[in-house]
Structure 1
Amino acid sequence: MNMSQKPQETALSRCPGCEEPLEPGDLFCGACGYDLSAVPEPPQDRPTIAIATPAGEPPPGAGSGPAPEAVEPAPWQAPGSTPGAERSVPPGTRVDGPGASGDFELAAPAAAGAAPDPRTSPDPALTPSAGTKVCVACRAGRVDNDGYCENCGHAQPRERDHMEQELESVAAVSDRGLRHHRNEDAFAVSTTALPDGSPAVVAIVCDGVSSASRPDEASAAAAHAANEALLESLPRGTHPQQAMHEAIVAAAESVNRLAQDPGQAQEHDPHRHQNAPACTLVGAIMASGLLVVGWVGDSRVYWVPEDRSTAPARLTEDDSWAAQMVAAGLMNEAEAYADERAHAITGWLGADAYELEPHTASFKPDRPGLVVVCTDGLWNYAESAAEMAAAVPEDAYERPLHGAQVLVGHALDGGGHDNVTVALLPFAVPPQGAGSA
């Protein structure tokens, strides 16, 4: 999570390895690890980047074969736009690899005595055997346990850069965004059954605190622990609001244990909890006509009625500097959230947290609607309940995964300065006479 936001620069140079924007003075690319100190200043026109294709398959646009199959744009992209253009190589970039054919320029032979280029002249000792994961850049080196190529050193794409999950009654999407070098958000969605056999739906969303150490591990540990706690307590008959409280406590304990990792901190170190792994958490449970929310930090839950003529609502209050200023009457909401200190959080999960204060609330909606559970990477671009409702597509109640994709796209179109995670839970009012928790 960003503690402050800066306007996106318009004329940043780009990494020659992955096309990610670079900040002035960068020595390494934060996205792929490319050593920029060994790279001459790129020309004004974009360099051709070679990305390998499977053997025997011609690259798009090469030769006289049939045109490549059209790719459907992402839900938030306009027709005719290039899906994933923010991350991928520019349109028209050549694609090369073992067995590929087409009209490609050949590299000039190396000068006598010149050192071999590790990207094109792999060390035979590092050539991977069949079935081994190979580098996406040089297509020749093994990928080590840290996610880097042993041949050319290129960082491999992280699995968490973009994640999606859809169950029958809940869906979630998480994305790295356009400015962060990794995704420090995490989520968990699940369904279970209460003792009377009625369903319960769970969504947990966590946002790693970027100024802390290992924020990606903190968010993943918290999301997993909270989800597991709910899947254990709800079928036992624990009231959903109590179950949410216990789940937040379990999540906090899992994050605290990261600070006690003997590989990261020693018990005799008096400073071992300084800058400890930390994250925020927000969650929602739908069970027996109840909607229960719980949170610590500034991730949020919104309520968007299916009937858009009914007013939406925000169901959580931030643990943040801005929220404190508004609550104390020192600023109005617009002034507080315009301040550069607005996103400084006052509550989080982590060994260095002042005190764990889980917040929970229970609601009983009288009409169908959509529950939006999200990090500030989304609500920064749709802060009020009305703005969030306007960003939610009309068919999100019937197509929650599509709705979550559209909302992530809304944040990316707005600048994508932070990681973005959102879970959508369509809420249906149970028939009269159904039991309640």
Structure 2
Amino acid sequence: MRRPPAEPTCPGCEEPLEPGDLFCGACGYDLSALAQPPVDHPTVAITVPPGTGAAVGPGTAPPPPAVRYDDPPRGAPAPGIDDFELAAPGPVPARPEAEPPPADPRSAAPGPAPAAGPAAKVCVACRTGRIDPDGYCENCGHAQPRERDHTEQELDAVAAVSDRGLRHHRNEDAFAVSAAALPDGSPAVVAIVCDGVSSATRPDEASAAAATAANEALLDALPRGTHPQQAMHEAIVAAAESVNLLAADPDQGPEHDPHRHTNAPACTLVGAIVASGLLVVGWVGDSRVYWVPDDRTAPPARLTEDDSWAAQMVAAGLMNEAEAYADERAHAITGWLGADAYELEPHTASFKPDRPGVVVVCTDGLWNYAEAAHEMALAAPADAAARPLHCAQVLVGHALDGGGHDNVTVAVLPFAVPEQGAGSAYGTA
């Protein structure tokens, strides 16, 4: 079972700490400002033995059946499309009050100007030290923000924002947004969001590789007329293969079994496609897709089901949602992409919304602070469809205001219902 390190770690760089430390020996973080370690739920994974579908770990209840979904095998004909149905929002589990986050070094007040020339990089924490080639301040030792700490991208019909958050020392999330033309000339809009498994090695590389591979697979398949649900399934398989390659050992030869890797790079993936009046979602892990209608009097909905310990407990009837998500094992995932995943089970689903709205694709860095569908709808601005980038920025800000315990990534896709009588490449809309 994958778990975060048990020993106390520095909130600035996550290096192990010794009892009584007032400053981190690795980055110089002032530990006296923290009354106690923050509550954090990084993405972790439970090993599932092949063929059992059961969660395994010390102290677990009798294993319930794994949550499974009908999904087309690779190369199978395009699946049928069910009518879109929205369920009423469920109960909201109680959540403890978030502790005030430590000061974010990215917002530190400026100090005296350094003596170095104008081209020299200056530390964002002390504002005086120069940065060494490894990215650390020569004066205070503080690690500097990475390029991925905050990224934004906006296209005509989709936007995404990713942020490191206030607790983690790097951003292990990644996203890809794009648009393609279907064979009939109509547009297809794509959003892929990936969350690195924090307890694995190189989770940031895993999420970046998966997002890129899935996006490229969709941009290849959709213009050729592949049904979006089939294309999403194949894109998840391609993403898994790209993450598996990160753990490949060329010295082992062609007979090497990738499942021998015990802590290989790993991530989760969730994606959405809006095309020709159709909404397709796909996922592995615990990142989610929410539907938020423009008419806020209509019920919103969550369109994915987590691959997690908590979801399995609820599905098996062993706990209710409040009990399951209050358990310390709630955020342990039972499905992920990586060479040490025993079985890849991509989940996909298709919907036909009967009204305009937005599709919110996000990691748990957001939904930890807006778990129920109606909470997500309340957090999204009223003009979300008209301003998707603004909506993504507001939602990321919502997570940071709530404590920012994890990396936060959000993609927003507006959905417009086709005009009445307009044809659809995938059936009558």
State TM-score, norm by structure 1.
0.72
Match of 1:87 among 100, 105, 120: 105
Tell me, yes or no, if the aligned pair for 1:259 and 1:265 is still in contact at 8 Å: no
State the secondary structure of the residue aligned to 1:178. Answer: coil
C-alpha separation between the residues in 1 aligned to 2:253 and 2:379?
A: 44
Tell me, yes or no, if the aligned pair for 2:259 and 2:342 is still in contact at 8 Å: no
Match of 2:114 among 97, 101, 120: 97
Residue 436 of structure 1 pairs with residue 422 of structure 2: no
What residue in structure 1 maps to residue 225 of structure 2? 237
Number of matched residues? Answer: 352
Question: 1:397 Cα deviation (Å)?
Answer: 1.4
State the secondary structure of the residue aligned to 2:162. Answer: strand
Question: 1:163 Cα deviation (Å)?
Answer: 0.8
What residue in structure 1 maps to residue 415 of structure 2? 427
* Aligned partner letter, 2:178: S
Residue 136 of structure 1 pairs with residue 129 of structure 2: no
Match of 2:370 among 365, 375, 382: 382
Map 1:12-411 → 2, pairs under 5 A: 25=19, 29=24, 33-34=26-27, 86-88=104-106, 90-91=108-109, 93-98=110-115, 134-137=120-123, 143-144=132-133, 146-148=134-136, 155-262=143-250, 273-411=261-399
Tell me, yes or no, if the aligned pair for 1:4 and 1:343 is still in contact at 8 Å: no
Question: 1:393 Cα deviation (Å)?
Answer: 1.1
* Aligned partner letter, 1:97: P
Tell me, yes or no, if the aligned pair for 2:286 and 2:364 is still in contact at 8 Å: yes
C-alpha separation between the residues in 2 aligned to 1:261 and 1:189?
A: 31
C-alpha separation between the residues in 2 aligned to 1:244 and 1:152?
A: 47
State the secondary structure of the residue aligned to 2:171. Answer: coil
Question: 1:23 Cα deviation (Å)?
Answer: 6.7
* 232 and 3 in structure 1: CA distance in 2 versus 1, 3 angstrom threshold: same
* Aligned partner letter, 2:104: E
* 154 and 87 in structure 1: CA distance in 2 versus 1, 3 angstrom threshold: closer
* 270 and 225 in structure 1: CA distance in 2 versus 1, 3 angstrom threshold: closer
Question: 1:191 Cα deviation (Å)?
Answer: 0.6
Structure having the higher Rg? 1
* 142 and 14 in structure 1: CA distance in 2 versus 1, 3 angstrom threshold: closer
* Aligned partner letter, 1:136: V
RMSD (Å), alpha carbons:
3.7
C-alpha separation between the residues in 1 aligned to 2:247 and 2:222?
A: 29
State the secondary structure of the residue aligned to 2:105. Answer: coil
C-alpha separation between the residues in 1 aligned to 2:258 and 2:173?
A: 29
* 206 and 406 in structure 1: CA distance in 2 versus 1, 3 angstrom threshold: same
Question: 1:434 Cα deviation (Å)?
Answer: 2.8
* Aligned partner letter, 1:304: V
Cα distance per residue 1:25-68 (max 9 Å; x no partner):
569859xx5357xx9x999xxxxxxxxxxxxxxxxxxxxxxxxx
Question: 1:252 Cα deviation (Å)?
Answer: 0.1
Cα distance per residue 1:70-123 (max 9 Å; x no partner):
xxxxxxxxxxxxxx97333544x43313499xxxxxxxxxxxxxxxxxxxxxxx
Tell me, yes or no, if the aligned pair for 2:259 and 2:340 is still in contact at 8 Å: no
C-alpha separation between the residues in 1 aligned to 2:5 and 2:142?
A: 29
Cα distance per residue 1:127-172 (max 9 Å; x no partner):
xxx9xx743238886753x545789865332001111111111011
State the secondary structure of the residue aligned to 2:395. Answer: helix
Question: 1:396 Cα deviation (Å)?
Answer: 1.3
Cα distance per residue 1:180-205 (max 9 Å; x no partner):
11110000000110011100000000
Which residues of structure 2 form unaligned runs of 5+? 34-101
Question: 1:430 Cα deviation (Å)?
Answer: 1.3
Which residues of structure 1 form unaligned runs of 5+? 44-83, 101-129
* Aligned partner letter, 2:289: V
C-alpha separation between the residues in 2 aligned to 1:354 and 1:268?
A: 15
C-alpha separation between the residues in 2 aligned to 1:198 and 1:143?
A: 50
State the secondary structure of the residue aligned to 1:228. Answer: helix
State the secondary structure of the residue aligned to 2:332. Answer: coil
State TM-score, norm by structure 2.
0.73
Question: 1:415 Cα deviation (Å)?
Answer: 0.9
* 222 and 42 in structure 1: CA distance in 2 versus 1, 3 angstrom threshold: closer
Tell me, yes or no, if the aligned pair for 1:371 and 1:425 is still in contact at 8 Å: yes
State the secondary structure of the residue aligned to 1:436. Answer: coil
Cα distance per residue 1:358-409 (max 9 Å; x no partner):
0000001111001000000100011010111111111111111111111111
C-alpha separation between the residues in 2 aligned to 1:207 and 1:42?
A: 31
Cα distance per residue 1:235-269 (max 9 Å; x no partner):
01100000000000000000000011559999879
